[in-house]
Amino acid sequence: MPAAPEPEILAAFEAAKGFMPPHEGLALYAAAVEAGRLGLPLLEVGTYCGRSTILLADAARRAGVTALTVDHHRGSEEQQPGWDYHDPETVDPEIGLMDTLPAFRRTLHRAGLEDHVVALVGRSPQVAAVWNSPVGLVFVDGGHTDEHANADYEGWAPHLAEGGLLAIHDVFPDPEDEFTGQAPYRVYLRALASGAFTEVSATDSLRVLRRTGAGI
């Protein structure tokens, strides 16, 4: 039976600002717990306000490892003013730009998980370029353009240890979902075509792949 979070962790996840539905969150949690057995950090690309970070942090706590989460905290394309996923509460009134870092910190504090997370504040390709340690999980949930989704994959998949898990969120095969999920879908196909990954599970828009070879 897949690992599941304690009720208080699930409640904190559901109370946090974000977009991942609970059933996908449970699948992510199970993958994170499994990946944690490698004894390596669990890494997330795309923090937003920390909803999914709660799950990775609790899985990391269970495994005695650290959760890492990468985000510039200025919001991705679909979260900017004028778009459907924009939340005015995330805008810093002083500078007029999104800043989800304070909300993220409150989320972790309320969940009691601050000690189990390292927040890497910056753009994913820049952080990946200076990162030189293996990780047990890479969860790609950042920008939804081909440019950003491919950069996240190219930057972080090479750091994934053999046997580690690659999780990709918002994978929508339907061309009607071009803006929200076709770029992650193309990254998912790219990972499979590389021969370096084998699919483990699919839970609606969440795909989990295991690294089984080289050649990313």
Active-site positions read 144
- Give the Cα separation of 12 and 14 in Å (integer): 5
CA distances from 73 to 90, 100, 123, 148, 155 (A): 10, 5, 9, 15, 18
CA atoms in the 13 A half-sphere facing the CB of 180: 11
Which burial class, exposed, middle or buried, applies to 7 when counting CB atoms under 10 A from its CB (0-12, 13-18, 19+)?
A: exposed
Rounded CA separation 9/111 (Å) = 7
Q: Are 209 and 200 in contact (CB under 8 A)?
A: yes
Both structure tokens of 152 = 């996240």
Nearest to 71 by CA among 98, 40, 31: 98
> Cα–Cα distances in Å, from 44 out to 57, 84, 189?
10, 23, 20
